[in-house]
């Protein structure tokens, strides 16, 4: 991703996250918010901010079933380019696993479309390698995986 596109993504993710938690999106607050991730002259700072803010609006704005859809069918530039990093960051949040579990159960037990079941199984396989995830995910025991 080029620097300008990255900065645009960071800004729109920051605004989206603010919508979900009621923080004002005043211009003067933007740079201080991003500076928490490091030196604004470095691309690595913007990448870090892009990933963290992406996780922010995913958890703040999407329903649990749509969190799984996000990872299986990413359509944002950050979601496409940094899909694994976004997942790693998401899993550092305390209630992320519970939300993933709830999303998987919904997709599998109450699918609306045919792809829902496929996404649930694909994502469950992907995440089952994570050390902390095993215990929570065992509780789901989707029939086709067991």
Shorter beta-carbon distance to another protein: residue 12 or 44? 12
Query: What is the separation of C-alpha 55 from the centre of its chain, rounded to a whole number of angstroms?
Result: 4
Shorter beta-carbon distance to another protein: residue 115 or 126? 115
Least gap, CB of 9 to another protein (angstroms) = 9
Q: What is the token pair recorded at 139?
A: 């509780």
Least gap, CB of 101 to another protein (angstroms) = 11
Least gap, CB of 120 to another protein (angstroms) = 13
Residues lying near another protein in the complex (CB under 8 A) are found at 12-13, 15-16, 19-22, 57-67, 69-70, 74-76, 79, 95, 98-99, 102-103, 106, 110-115
**DSSP for residue 75:** -
Q: What is the dihedral of CA 38, 44, 48, 53, to 10 degrees?
A: 90
Q: How far apart are CA 134 and CA 32, in angstroms?
A: 38
């Amino acid at each position: 991703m080029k620097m300008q596109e990255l900065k645009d993504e960071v800004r729109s993710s920051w605004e989206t996250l603010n919508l979900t938690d009621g923080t004002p999106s005043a211009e003067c607050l933007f740079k201080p918010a991003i500076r928490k991730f490091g030196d604004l002259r470095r691309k690595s700072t913007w990448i870090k901010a892009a990933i963290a803010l992406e996780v922010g609006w995913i958890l703040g704005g999407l329903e649990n079933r749509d969190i799984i859809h996000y990872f299986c069918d990413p359509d944002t530039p950050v979601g496409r380019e940094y899909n694994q990093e976004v997942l790693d960051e998401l899993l550092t949040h305390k209630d992320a696993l519970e939300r993933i579990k709830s999303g998987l159960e919904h997709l599998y037990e109450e699918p609306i479309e045919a792809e829902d079941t496929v996404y649930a199984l694909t994502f469950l396989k992907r995440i089952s390698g994570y050390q902390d995830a095993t215990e929570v995910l065992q509780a789901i025991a989707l029939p086709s995986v067991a």
